[in-house]
Amino acid sequence: MPRLVLRHLRIVGWEREVGDGYIVIKNGYIEEIGVEPAGRIYGDEMSLRGYIAVPGYIDTHTHGIGGMDPLAKPDPYVLLEISRLYARHGVTGFLPSTVSMPPDSITEFCRSLRDAISMWRPENGSRILGAHLEGPYINPEYAGAHDPRFIRSPSLEEFRSYVDACGGYLRQITIAPEIRGSEDIMRFSREVGVVVSAGHTGASYEEGLWAIGLGVSKATHIFNAMRRIHHRDPGIALALLQSSSIYIETIPDLVHLHRAVLKLVIDIAGPERIVLVSDSISAAGMPDGIYSLGGLEVEVREGVCRLRGRDTIAGSVLTLDRGVSNVVGLGYSLREAVMMASTTPARSIGLLHRGGVGAIEPGYAADIAILDNSLRVVKTLVMGVEVYSREG
């Protein structure tokens, strides 16, 4: 492949910010970054004066978009279509996420994901980075939008079957660490490199510290479907927030958390630990109406998703480009917001390294979102291939 040179753009990344810079891409990877003038570089040039380059956003917790639900009928082509839709929002990598479902349904999902990854090419859009199993080993008292019929006690044999069905692409599991049998899952996950995230949990502060010692490294949508903080009973949320080794998922839609609480969480954990996620369902990018999530009906009204006939929030219609704008609107710099939407998510699942994703640095994949000054996505590149370009 010939070199591609992106020229005259502002580059905003976790290690550097360049006011008028260039990026040289070769064979899908970033070869060089510099300050204009670029000098003589052989390759195709793309002039992007007035625009901003950021590392492509990475969504580690999402259930669908654009009317597409990968859980409703597991199909690799559905996942590839979702890849295309995410690219429109600057997302260059994502973890399709389950909810609590019957064992056969989870197995079918894992197999379809494995097949989709083998079929994926950069021109398809956003990378499918692996699977996130949200459940079924969660606390039924904190089920949230999970169908209680399919929540069950942890089974190491069952979990091993999911690891096998994913073909090495199971990246993350959300589990309630206080549930009997969870210890075996947490220990085995650590052995095979699956990230363990604590969520849908009623664990105490002390149980939270114990779980962190066993290998929990992430918090699933902090405060949501989680034991509340009380001044005499702080619960697991405080244990997770206080631990410098824990990544904190948060949904920046200003619905799941009040803006003051969202700001508090970011201020406590810092951008190097905050993982912005969408937790989107198939209703993202769609009009208000009735949708499904894991077999449960979800009513979307004025952009808020709730289980039909109940007040329980059921995912979101958020996309990460809007989430970044919301965080910048709270007073954080674009560089900090990009770290929370790109770099920290990549690090949280072990993919922030040369040859990996989450940074605009030499040796990293050329997965880049191009923004205008209003932070709207203008173009998305995956492995240097333009997979989305906004018209007009």
**Catalytic center residues:** 279
Supply 9's token pair: 């753009």
Q: Which helix (H) or strand (E) holds 200?
A: none
Give the bridge partners for 127, in sequence order. Answer: 93
Nearest to 224 by CA among 196, 259, 249: 249
Q: Give the Cα separation of 297 and 306 in Å (integer).
A: 9
Alpha helices in 232-353 (DSSP H): 235-242, 259-269, 320-329, 334-338, 344-348
- Concatenated DSSP letters of 276-287: E---B-TTTTS-
Q: Give the Cα separation of 324 and 160 in Å (integer).
A: 36
Nearest to 364 by CA among 339, 349, 383: 383
**Cβ proximity of 87 and 383 under 8 Å:** no
Nearest to 106 by CA among 119, 97, 117: 97
Looking at residue 261, its amino acid is V
Q: Give the Cα separation of 99 and 18 in Å (integer).
A: 41
Alpha carbon distances (Å) from 25 to 1, 90, 199, 368:
10, 18, 39, 11
Q: Give the Cα separation of 60 and 277 in Å (integer).
A: 6
Give the bridge partners for 6, in sequence order. Answer: 23, 46
Peptide bond before 37: cis, by omega within 30 degrees of 0? yes
Nearest to 358 by CA among 204, 247, 223, 202: 247
Alpha helices in 8-155 (DSSP H): 76-87, 103-119
Q: Which helix (H) or strand (E) holds 291?
A: strand 289-293
DSSP state of 356: S
Q: How many CB atoms lie within 10 A of CB 233?
A: 11
Nearest to 30 by CA among 375, 385, 365: 365
